[in-house]
């Protein structure tokens, strides 16, 4: 191949990119790897579960659960996803730029006075009150165009949504409904993550009591947990969220969905601490033997929850170092975490090595449980100091745009 050829230039560019990534990695205390391929694969698995007759959308609110909205929707669109749910119109505008032909629903409804923003970005508000329905109808009437929107019916969550009786009143007003195009009627499960809770069936019955009021309009009730409740809940469209990102839906995952996020922190130093020594703020945990501690360059300033720390009263979370589960030791501070590496070979627990705080070897849900929270909160609270890269959770990754 002649010098300066296209293939040579690409090789040089790849080499330059790798060198730049290595330089950035050397300057960062922690590394966050996000596998959008796993997110897309999880979506495909869920789509196969619900079958071709049901639309499988993707919920990408809160920056795609902390994973980066733009790269995530690009991966999902490449896998075949064409319907997205966001919380706010600015999120919807980002999705529109990345996937121009997508169908985009805004779960938080129609913000007061913002109808023009929805129309400009071709966003569909999920109308959750009579005031929102009326404002959208007036706006569409003034523009003389029947824009799409969804109707959210509250069946027991008691957050957003019109009541069942209000839904009946809306259905009985054909003149108002003629001003816009109702493209979806939806509700939301309060106890979907608890399959045996009888309230799931109660909500489904309330929702199905509206059948026939909006003929031809697709219906949706199932979030991630709802997908696992069975075909009765799938209706015409499912809108998984946390399942896409590898979070826990049920205690037993029959689909073996893939983890999509790995957080690692670099060891700054390894300390030899005698028995009877307190570690960290408040001396919350005291060594009961001569102990080797690895001090990691991350903390609650990077989104790792302080409550996951350990004390003499309660154990904390664990991390993963080269095939060894290592317990956190003492309180988590803003920038530092201590882990007990006494039982890890010294050549593995060394300055500069990375410790996995959660990912494929250290279950994120277990870490969240130790912090007395849920994996949703860990994901959406991912810090911005970590070097953020996109690629497989094992192997080469590339710096991402987020």
208 is catalytic: no
Q: How many CB atoms are closer than 10 A to CB 351?
A: 11
DSSP result, 156-185 = S--SSSB-HHHHHHHHT-HHHHTTSEEEEE
Helix (H), strand (E) at residue 268: strand 261-273
Nearest to 263 by CA among 381, 402, 351, 372: 381
61 is catalytic: yes
Three-class SS state of 58 = strand
- Annotated catalytic residue within 105, 144, 281, 300: 281
Distance CA(386)–CA(216), nearest Å, equals 48
Q: Give 285's contacts (C-beta < 8 A, 6+ positions apart).
A: 278, 279, 310, 311, 312, 329, 330, 331
Distance CA(96)–CA(83), nearest Å, equals 11
Query: Which phi-psi region, left, alpha or beta, contains residue 119 (left: φ > 0; alpha: ψ -120 to 50)?
Result: alpha
How many residues comprise the chain? 402
- Please work out, in degrees rounded to the nearest 5, the angle formed at the alpha carbon of residue 263 by the alpha carbons of 42 and 271: 155
- Please work out, in degrees rounded to the nearest 5, the angle formed at the alpha carbon of residue 72 by the alpha carbons of 66 and 73: 125
Nearest to 152 by CA among 198, 106, 90: 106
Q: Give 342's contacts (C-beta < 8 A, 6+ positions apart).
A: 289, 290, 291, 292
Distance CA(376)–CA(371), nearest Å, equals 12
Q: At what angle do helices 130-143 and 164-171 cross, to 10 degrees?
A: 30
- Annotated catalytic residue within 6, 61, 304, 318: 61
And the tokens for 338? 């201590």
Residue positions annotated with a catalytic role: 61, 281
């Amino acid at each position: 191949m002649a010098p300066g050829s296209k293939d040579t230039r690409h090789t040089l560019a790849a080499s330059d990119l790798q060198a730049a990534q290595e330089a950035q990695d050397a300057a960062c205390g922690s590394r966050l790897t996000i596998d959008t391929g796993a997110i897309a694969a999880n979506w495909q698995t869920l789509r196969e579960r619900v079958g071709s007759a049901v639309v499988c959308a993707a919920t990408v609110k809160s920056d795609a659960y902390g994973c980066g909205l733009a790269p995530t929707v690009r991966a999902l669109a490449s896998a075949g996803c064409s319907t997205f749910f966001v919380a706010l119109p600015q999120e919807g505008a980002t999705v529109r730029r990345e996937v121009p032909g997508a169908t985009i629903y805004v779960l938080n409804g129609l913000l007061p006075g913002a109808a023009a923003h929805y129309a400009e970005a071709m966003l569909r508000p999920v109308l959750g009150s009579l005031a929102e329905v009326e404002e959208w109808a007036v706006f569409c009437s003034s523009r003389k165009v029947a824009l799409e929107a969804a109707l959210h019916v509250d069946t027991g969550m008691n957050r957003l949504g019109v009541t069942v009786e209000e839904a009946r009143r809306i259905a009985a007003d054909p003149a108002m409904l003629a001003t816009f195009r109702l493209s979806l009627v939806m509700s939301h499960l309060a106890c979907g993550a608890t399959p045996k809770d009888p309230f799931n069936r109660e909500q489904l019955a309330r929702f199905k009591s509206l059948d026939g009021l909006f003929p031809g309009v697709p219906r949706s009730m199932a979030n991630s947990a709802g997908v696992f409740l069975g075909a009765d809940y799938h209706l015409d469209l499912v809108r998984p969220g946390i399942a896409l990102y590898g979070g826990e839906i049920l205690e037993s995952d029959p689909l073996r969905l893939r983890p999509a996020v790995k957080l690692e922190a670099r060891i700054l130093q390894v300390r030899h601490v005698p028995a009877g020594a307190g570690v960290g703020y408040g001396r919350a945990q005291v060594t009961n033997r001569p102990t080797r501690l690895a001090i990691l360059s991350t903390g609650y300033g990077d989104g790792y929850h302080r409550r996951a720390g350990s004390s003499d009263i309660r154990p904390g979370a664990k991390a993963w170092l080269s095939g060894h589960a290592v317990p956190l030791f003492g309180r988590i501070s803003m920038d530092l975490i201590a882990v007990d590496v006494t039982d890890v070979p010294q050549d593995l627990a060394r300055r500069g090595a990375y410790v996995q705080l959660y990912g494929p070897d250290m279950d994120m849900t277990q870490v969240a449980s130790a912090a007395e929270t849920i994996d949703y909160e860990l994901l959406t609270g991912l810090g911005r100091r970590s070097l953020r890269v996109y690629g497989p959770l094992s192997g080469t990754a590339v710096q991402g745009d987020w």
